[in-house]
């Protein structure tokens, strides 16, 4: 994957969105409208925990052909359980409904350093794929004996193990695991339950040392690219800012869960809007003055701009089925894009968040005096 090409694709996708067609529509004397854009290149990584940087996944197959996946990676609402289930189901040739994912319980799951750095789908997903491959190899070894076929001629799909070119020579996965009158022996009798396992050490996935060096270079294995454009309306008298429309263009690698990706992009833009314009924490003498959601504002549905998104797919060699993460990249760009638009409108460069009308007016007054 050529990183420069991916950046160009992400930027070009915004033009296809025809965002510039909205430039300066329906202005009146009391408001100004400006568009601005900010691109981002973020590193997708694993993170660190002392001297241990391992991410483990264990899928265990049950007699009825279902699979229990144990992962220390936590699903915080981003849809990681669904993605892990999709990855394991694809590798084992079963349905997503056949997968149960247990995550975040340190008593019953392998170690995981935590969910950050866009590493859920990319890194935990890769560990899930590797662990499923381990389980599949065990399945194929057992099925080769039952089907009296060469192991390299076998494949999995639709809950079956079958011989390529002779699909009638097949076994249901549950028959192999739980037993059937038509086969000689099976996993439950041999005492060999099918349990796959895998872990990842980020040092085995080097990043370009021309870009990142030192300790941090061991924590990342790929890049994700994104850019956001916003249409901003500002009242000329009060400096009240509204975001009318926001467009996100994101390189996510191979998209495993399209609905999940779109949800993360929209949610990320909402969060970015919040810390850009609303979520100002007021502190005086060490005390938080607005410790509740009445005074500490977050965007509501009425505050949200019209959102649209463009997904630029590519295949990342280090990700599961070519996938990359994108949770952070959908959030980071919004506030800088808003600040850029305000700077273009007013000539005032705000260097701290949250952007408030008071800050804009104070900076504008300071700029006017200096001139």
pLDDT in tens, 124-173: 898 899 999 999 999 999 889 888 899 999 999 999 999 999 989 998 98
pLDDT at position 366, please?
86
What's the mean per-residue pLDDT of the chain? 80
pLDDT at position 107, please?
83
d(CA 367, CA 110): 56
**Residue 193 pLDDT class (50, 70, 90 cuts):** confident
3-state SS, residue 163 = strand
pLDDT tens sequence across 285-327: 999 999 999 999 999 999 999 999 888 888 888 889 999 888 8
pLDDT at position 214, please?
62
Q: Which residues contact 80 (CB under 8 A, 6 or more apart)?
A: 73, 74, 103, 115, 120, 121, 124
d(CA 308, CA 16): 12
Q: Does 250 score more than 80 pLDDT?
A: yes
CB 244 within 8 A of CB 232: yes
d(CA 147, CA 145): 6
Q: Domain 3-46+205-370: state its class.
A: alpha beta
Q: Does 85 score more than 90 pLDDT?
A: yes
Q: Is 64 exposed, middle or buried (0-12, 13-18, 19+ CB in 10 A)?
A: exposed
d(CA 29, CA 163): 73
Region for 116 from its dihedrals, namely left if φ exceeds 0, alpha if ψ lies in -120 to 50, beta otherwise: beta
What stretches of the chain adopt beta strand conformation (E)? 31-45, 55-61, 67-71, 99-103, 154-157, 160-163, 166-172, 198-200, 220-235, 241-251, 283-284, 287-288, 306-312
Distances 143 to 47, 96, 315 between C-alpha atoms, Å: 39, 22, 32
- Tell me which residue of 6, 250, 213, 249 sits closest to 118, measured CA to CA: 250
d(CA 162, CA 133): 16
d(CA 116, CA 103): 15
**Residue 236 pLDDT class (50, 70, 90 cuts):** confident
Task: Confirm whether 3-46+205-370 and 55-204 share one CATH topology.
Answer: yes
Q: Does 94 score more than 60 pLDDT?
A: yes
Domain limits of the chain? Answer: 3-46+205-370, 55-204
Q: Cα dihedral angle (110, 114, 120, 124), rounded to 10 degrees?
A: -20
Percentage of the chain with pLDDT > 90?
Answer: 36
Q: Does 218 score more than 90 pLDDT?
A: no
d(CA 197, CA 214): 30
Q: What CATH number does the domain located at 55-204 have?
A: 3.30.365.10
Lowest mean pLDDT among 85-89, 181-185, 190-194: 181-185
Q: Which residues contact 70 (CB under 8 A, 6 or more apart)?
A: 57, 58, 59, 60, 102, 103, 108, 109, 110
d(CA 102, CA 339): 42
């Amino acid at each position: 994957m050529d990183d420069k090409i991916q950046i160009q694709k992400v930027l070009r996708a915004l033009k296809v969105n025809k965002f510039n067609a909205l430039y300066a529509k329906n202005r009146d004397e009391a408001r100004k409208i400006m568009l601005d854009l900010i691109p981002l290149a973020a590193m997708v990584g694993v993170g660190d925990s002392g001297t241990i940087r391992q991410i483990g996944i264990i899928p265990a197959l049950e007699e009825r052909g279902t699979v229990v996946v144990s992962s220390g990676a936590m699903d915080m609402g981003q849809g990681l359980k669904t993605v892990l289930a999709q990855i394991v189901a694809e590798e084992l040739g079963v349905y997503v409904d056949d997968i149960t994912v247990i995550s975040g319980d340190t008593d019953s799951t392998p170690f995981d350093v935590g969910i950050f750095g866009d590493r859920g789908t990319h890194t935990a997903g890769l560990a899930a794929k590797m662990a499923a491959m381990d389980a599949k190899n065990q399945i194929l070894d057992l099925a080769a004996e039952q089907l009296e076929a060469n192991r390299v001629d076998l494949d999995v799909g639709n809950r079956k193990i079958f011989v390529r070119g002779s699909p009638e020579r097949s076994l249901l996965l549950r028959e192999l695991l739980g037993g059937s009158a038509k086969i000689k022996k099976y996993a439950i009798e041999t005492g060999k339950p099918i349990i796959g396992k895998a872990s990842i050490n980020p040092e085995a996935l080097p990043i370009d040392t021309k870009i990142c060096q030192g300790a941090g270079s061991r924590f990342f294995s790929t890049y994700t690219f994104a850019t956001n454009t916003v249409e901003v309306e500002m009242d000329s008298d009060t400096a009240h800012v509204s975001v009318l429309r926001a467009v996100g263009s994101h390189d996510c690698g191979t998209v495993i869960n399209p609905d999940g990706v779109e949800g993360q992009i929209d949610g990320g833009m909402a969060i970015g809007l919040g810390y850009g314009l609303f979520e100002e924490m007021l502190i005086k003498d060490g005390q938080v003055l607005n410790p509740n959601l009445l005074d500490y504002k977050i965007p509501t549905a009425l505050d949200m701009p019209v959102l649209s998104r463009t997904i630029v797919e590519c295949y990342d060699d280090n990700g599961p089925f070519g996938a990359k993460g994108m949770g952070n990249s959908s959030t980071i760009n919004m506030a800088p894009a808003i600040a850029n638009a305000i700077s273009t409108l007013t000539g005032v460069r705000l260097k701290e968040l949250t952007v408030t009308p008071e800050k804009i007016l104070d900076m504008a007054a300071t700029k006017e005096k200096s001139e």
